[in-house]
Chains A and B, each alone.
Chain A
Amino acid sequence: MIEVVYSGPLVPAEWIAAHGMHPRCVRPMPRSDSRFGPQTGVCPFARAFAEYAAVPGGQTSCPPRDSLAVFATTCDQMRRIAEFAPNAFVMNVPATWQTPTAERMYAAELHRLSRWLRAHGGSEPCTAAFQQPCGTDFQPVSHLDRVRLGVIGGPIPDDSPFTGWIEEVGGTLVLDGTDGGPRTQPWIDTSRFHDDPIAELTRAYLSVPSIHHRPNHRIFEWLRTHASAARVQGIILRRYVWCDLWHAEARRFGEVLDVPLLDLEVDGNEATDPRVRGRIASFLEMLTPCAAREA
């Protein structure tokens, strides 16, 4: 089965699967020693995904693979780094979401993606096998003696030690609001998908609260609601260096939430930089007396 890799949360994996292909969401770990593409001003995650998509071996440290790649225009960094992966499909995801134009645009892109998939070995779309997943991959584990944390921001790489560090320093992750987490997994009505997959996917994916949307108030509403429901005691905004979309809203997140916010900027050194773990630990130290009082 042909594999189609993507990283953008608004790329419809269900549609790729309906064409008899295997969709795989890839979040490669950024590497500070990567020499792929320009160096200054490029989001490390965008570079990592583009390198994965463009280089035959994925990233040069990976074994060779043969797969297709889909980029989404949900940020300018991804839109522009896609030029360095010339054989990839660039899905034009609208930034607006409330207008008929946005709906038509997303639907048109689904048709175009279908043509591209079929031109690259995919079958005519068949929705019969689709089943709405019962849950998400994220399963919060509640430890009464740990600080309850939420995380928002850009995608967390597959091999990132980030969530492990949270556990190591005494926290427990009870809310995942990152790109690629539960917030960005749309609910798709199975019967509507079978009847009219384009319309249902358009409805479902435009309903996902995304930081790139204009206006973007839904992401704040989502966070307030879910942070309250999960009884979050602190939020980490984990954003990549040069990611303007999340960075610009850091102040506003801090203003609208009732809990402390850690604004954590990460670059290609996350796996090896002790400062990231240290900042998480310091944040938890600050929260721990509050958590103890609540307990």
Chain B
Amino acid sequence: MRHCEDGDTRLANLRFDNSPAALRLWNLLLTEEDRLRQARAEGKLLVGVMKDLGTAAVLAWSLPDVVAFYPDGAWWTPCIMESNQRLLEVADSLGVPESFCPVRAMLGAFVTQEHFPLPDLLVCSVGATCDDFSSIAQRLEGMGHPITWWEMPHRRSPDSDEAYVTLTNGACVPVEQVECVETELERIGQVMATAAHTQLTEQRLREGIVRANRVRRLLDELRQEVFMAEPCPLPALEMLIAEMLSIHYCSDFDETEQVLQELLAEVERRVTARQGVLPADAARLFWVNPVADLRVMNLLEDLGGRICGTDYMLGHALDLLPEDEPPLHALALAALADPMVGSAAQRAERICREVQHFRAQAVLVSRIPGASHCATEGAVIADVIRTRLDLPVIEIEVPSVTDAMEPTLGTRLQALVETIKGVQTAC
């Protein structure tokens, strides 16, 4: 209620899981800005890590008195605050209109400074990244916010005579690409350490990786339990938020660990009691890409579907980091495993494996309005899924606030659910 009164008015339109664990999850998410201000007041270094979703944050969190967060997360502010804060209008006024991804709200957040405190340091991955984010980040720099850019090469398969390594997602890449990313991570790590007046030692990095893996293991267990159980023990909305914790722990690592442990305990209790939040015959969907409007997670379940498998563009933040490799090398292996860094076909291969593992009955690709990767990836992913698995695939576009188009979205989701259930009945 207090978050609603503070301006997060979308919360009144969302349906939440009715458990103390879920309540603690939402409180963690919605109090992040307060924690960042507290960290600033305590003299900690605030590092805004941008775009790479999960690797640079591990570097930063390995340093004492450093708090890392993703300003990219501002893309949900127009949804949660139902555009009350006019962040998108601010972006419009800067010449970054709705043909760009909703992450343009980040520009608005930097201008108004009414959300997160301005970071002391900004680092941003660039290269094999979407154009809209790269452009928006460049506009930030043009507005007087210095950025330390680091190169993320387009992931490619090794030539037949090239030395290669295996990434955390199982893909193989040439050694030279891993060496490139490793060098870049070392460089930005040194920039962070210098700004924090400390040293980024190998020991600290190893400890940071071990800590990160604790969160990743919890998430993996949670995903396995939730996506495999019948009936569904935890709604898609809470699962989406939980997965997002993997990228920077919502600026509170210890609380993230506690929240995930409680969620997992609640899920295990429900699974044992065969207690579900959705009907047992809910259509099983694999969902690709995060939604700009969280309400859509509820909508799918209202219409008889459930999410059992996800690719929210952060699969590399869910995979365990190798603890038996030199730490920077381990982080480079993870960074290059980013599904957005390679081809859509490679991304689709992983989706196929997970669809089969989680026994999904269809795949839904959620387009992010204006995102450059969404122009072509849906077609490639759909083609691979249909060819390899002979499953239905649909693409929908989800803007930041879907109220006006909910009937249209609902019709499409309902059609997909009915198609799945029709196949179920026939079988």
Q: Which of A40, A42, A105, A248 contacts B151 (CB 8 A)?
A: A105
Q: Are B136 and A76 in contact (CB under 8 A)?
A: no
Interface status of B138 (Cβ within 8 A of chain A): yes
Interface status of B170 (Cβ within 8 A of chain A): no
Given A215-B141, A244-B135, A92 and B96 touching (CB < 8 A)?
no
Query: In whole angstroms, how far apart are the Cα atoms of A75 and B127 in the complex?
Result: 8
**Contact digits for A15-43, partner B, Cβ 8 Å, 1 yes 0 no:** 00000000000000000000001101111
Q: Are A37 and B379 in contact (CB under 8 A)?
A: yes
Q: Are A242 and B134 in contact (CB under 8 A)?
A: no
- Which bucket holds chain A's interface residue count? 35 or more
User: A96-104, A152-160, A228-236: which one contacts chain B?
Assistant: A96-104
For B380, list chain A residues within 8 Å (CB): 83
**Contact digits for B103-138, partner A, Cβ 8 Å, 1 yes 0 no:** 000000000000000000000101111111011111
Q: Which of A38, A104, A214, A242 has the most B CB atoms < 10 Å from its CB?
A: A214
Q: Are A95 and B374 in contact (CB under 8 A)?
A: no
Interface status of B153 (Cβ within 8 A of chain A): yes
Query: In whole angstroms, how far apart are the Cα atoms of A250 and B130 in the complex?
Result: 18
Q: Are A83 and B345 in contact (CB under 8 A)?
A: yes
Q: Which of A76, A212, A216 contacts B130 (CB 8 A)?
A: A76
For B100, list chain A residues within 8 Å (CB): 244, 247-248
For A92, list chain B residues within 8 Å (CB): 153-154, 156
Q: Are B127 and A251 in contact (CB under 8 A)?
A: no
Interface status of B375 (Cβ within 8 A of chain A): yes
Q: Are B183 and A38 in contact (CB under 8 A)?
A: no
Query: In whole angstroms, how far apart are the Cα atoms of A252 and B172 in the complex?
Result: 41
For A194, list chain B residues within 8 Å (CB): none
CB nearest neighbor in B for A83: B343
For B137, list chain A residues within 8 Å (CB): 214
Q: Are A115 and B159 in contact (CB under 8 A)?
A: yes
CB nearest neighbor in A for B344: A83
Given A105-B153, A244-B100, A95 and B134 touching (CB < 8 A)?
yes
Q: Are A73 and B127 in contact (CB under 8 A)?
A: yes
**Contact digits for A73-96, partner B, Cβ 8 Å, 1 yes 0 no:** 101110111011000001010111
B91: min CB distance to chain A, Å: 10
CB nearest neighbor in B for A98: B149
Q: Are B376 and A244 in contact (CB under 8 A)?
A: no
Count contacts between A and B, CB distance < 8 Å: 134
Given A83-B343, A248-B136, A252-B139, A102 and B151 touching (CB < 8 A)?
yes
Q: Are A40 and B375 in contact (CB under 8 A)?
A: yes
For B134, list chain A residues within 8 Å (CB): 76, 95, 212, 214, 244-245
Q: How many residues of B contact A (CB 8 A)?
A: 48
Interface status of B150 (Cβ within 8 A of chain A): yes
For B153, list chain A residues within 8 Å (CB): 92, 94, 105
Q: Which of B126, B132, B375 has the most A CB atoms < 10 Å from its CB?
A: B375
Query: In whole angstroms, how far apart are the Cα atoms of A79 and B377 in the complex?
Result: 11
For A245, list chain B residues within 8 Å (CB): 131, 134-135
Interface status of A126 (Cβ within 8 A of chain B): no
B327: min CB distance to chain A, Å: 19
CB nearest neighbor in B for A216: B138
Interface status of B187 (Cβ within 8 A of chain A): yes
Q: Are A101 and B151 in contact (CB under 8 A)?
A: yes
A105: min CB distance to chain B, Å: 6
CB nearest neighbor in B for A256: B142
Interface status of A143 (Cβ within 8 A of chain B): no
Given A215-B149, A244-B132, A99 and B187 touching (CB < 8 A)?
yes
The 5 tightest CB contacts between A and B, nearest first, are A251-B95, A41-B375, A248-B135, A244-B131, A76-B372
Known: A242-B372, A244-B99. 17 other contacts (CB 8 A): A41-B370, A73-B127, A73-B154, A77-B131, A80-B372, A90-B156, A92-B153, A96-B127, A96-B151, A100-B183, A212-B134, A215-B138, A244-B134, A244-B372, A248-B100, A248-B138, A252-B142
